[in-house]
Structure 1
Amino acid sequence: MRNLTAAVLVAGATIIAGQAVAADLPYYPPVIEIPDVDHGYSGSFYLRGSAGLNLHWAPEVTHTTLATGNTHAIDQFGYGYSAGVGVGFETGTGWRFDATVDHLQTEGLQTTIGASANAALTRGPHQLSLRSTVVLANAYYDFGLGNDYGYGAAGGMFGYVGAGAGVAFNRMVTQGSALPDTWGSNTSPAAAAMVGVGYDFGQVVADVGYRGLYIHDIANSSSTFPYSVKNNFVHEVRGTVRYRFN
């Protein structure tokens, strides 16, 4: 009985002493570390370079000074390439904007002058070689293609759509059957629509896509029989690399 009483007294004293010591110790709340938020490259300026292959098509050519037999269907695509540079800004919300300058070159756009044509025109195939400097202001929207269906600081794979408007400074050479080459130039409104996919590596972004370029009119007023090729569509597959400054 004495031993039991002593054990109870010792246990009680220990508990009381422990509470007193604990009351004197300072209290430090647990520290929970929250990682910094990665805001990515929002608000970034960038340089870009592009290159691609193309097909050039238009519905018809009209010889503007001839009253009859003056319109002829285009019967062969032209083909060629483009290369250009640009500078732009991305907002970090999916939208980006840039201005681009491209050198565009196509060969072989063709019409065949047949028996029903105006007698002043030489029969046979006539081909157009185009050299154009295309200046566009563009807007794009980027959207994520990853598992989280978002496109932000983490980068990764994305898709985009875009549109542009501007002007084309055209220089052309007409090659006719048994005729000397005829040179000419004009300036025309131009527009573009773009769609594609790419990968965001961080400071460098690469993409590949389609650009449909519209040139309203390619016209040569200095030839013997002035002509106009309206509603030109240039279908391009292009690759682009962008470099962010910050």
Structure 2
Amino acid sequence: MRKLIAAILVAGAAVPTGAAFAADMPFYPPVIDVPDVDYGYTGSFYLRGSGAVNLAWAKEVTHPSVVPPSFATDGYGYGYSFGTGFGYETGTGLRFDVTVDYLSNEGVQATIPASAAPVLSPGVHKLLLRSTVALANAYYDFGIGGDGYGAGGGMFGYVGAGAGVAFNNFTTTSPAGAPSDIWSTNTSFAAAAMAGVGYDFGAVVADLGYRGLYINQLSNPGTTVPYNIDNVLVHEVRGTVRYRFN
């Protein structure tokens, strides 16, 4: 009993001493180190290469020296294109690049009536087009099925638009089928709209999509039989591979 009473007295004496000691201690709130959240967004430069098959169309061909001067086109042209480019992606879905493509197309045609003789040979005239198209482009990439942006982001879709110039080289075939010996050249405004889907593997990104390419005019003033073709529209199914190098 005496031992129990002694223990209680010792504990009671220690309480004020401990409280006084605690009061003298400075208070430091705990520091919690929260790491920055990494969303996987990163900007990077890239090189790209593209290849496409195409179909071209224009409403009509105009010959100022013939009455009536305009003849409706009645056939599409088919061909291909390939090109390269350099760009930058911001990591937030937006990316920008400049591209240069070589485009070949043959077969856009107009049937010239007998009334155009002797200036034009009656029959089917077909266009042969070779163009170098330089564009500045902007795109927006968006994840598909919960996939995000950045390296290894998985499936994505994209939309884009571009503007620039087309350096055109073109001629026509006669109704007999022989190409003209005279190739004409001109420089024209060009624009494009793009949409498609792709897959982000990390350092390499591949996509497949549609590009609608607009060439304002093909014209050859000053030749023996001048003509112009306005508002040429080229539909492309286009595959592209991009390589990130930083």
Give the TM-score category using the shorter length.
0.7 to 0.9
Aligned to 1:204: 204
Kept in 1, the 8 Å contact 2:152–2:201? The answer is no
Which aligned segments of 4 or more residues in structure 1 are displaced greater than 4 angstroms? 32-37
Matched residue SS, 2:81: strand
Q: Distance in 2 between matches of 1:151 and 1:139?
A: 16
Q: Quick one: which of 136, 142, 151 aligns to 2:149? A: 151
Q: Which amino acid aligns with 1:86?
A: G
Gaps spanning 5+ residues in structure 2: where? 1-31
Alignment match, 1:230: 230
Identity %: 66
2:187 aligns to what?
Answer: 187
* Superposition pairs of residues 85-96 of structure 1, within 5 angstroms: 85-96=84-95
Q: Say if 1:212 and 1:236, in contact at 8 Å, map to a contact too.
A: yes
Q: Where do 1:155-166 residues align within 5 Å?
A: 155-166=153-164
Bigger shift: 83-92 or 32-41? Answer: 32-41
Please state whether the residue corresponding to 1:120 is helix, strand or coil.
Answer: coil
CA deviation string 1:188-239 (max 9, x = no partner):
0000000000011111111000000000001123542111010000000000
Alpha carbons 1:39, 1:153 under 8 Å: kept: no
Mark the CA change 1:240 to 1:41 in structure 2 (over 3 Å): closer, same or farther. farther
1:176 to partner: Cα distance:
0.9
Look up the match of 1:124: 123
Structure 2 equivalent of residue 14 of structure 1: none
Q: CA deviation at 1:114?
A: 1.5
Unaligned regions of 5+ residues in structure 1, if any?
A: 1-31
Aligned-residue Cα RMSD (Å) equals 3.3
TM-score after normalising by structure 1: 0.82
Instruction: Give runs of aligned pairs for residues 1-246 of structure 1, distance below 5 A.
Output: 37-40=37-40, 42-66=42-66, 68-117=67-116, 119-147=118-146, 150-152=148-150, 155-178=153-176, 181-182=179-180, 183-221=183-221, 223-246=223-246
* TM norm structure 2: 0.82
- For this pair of structures, how many residues does the alignment match? 238
SS at match of 2:120: coil
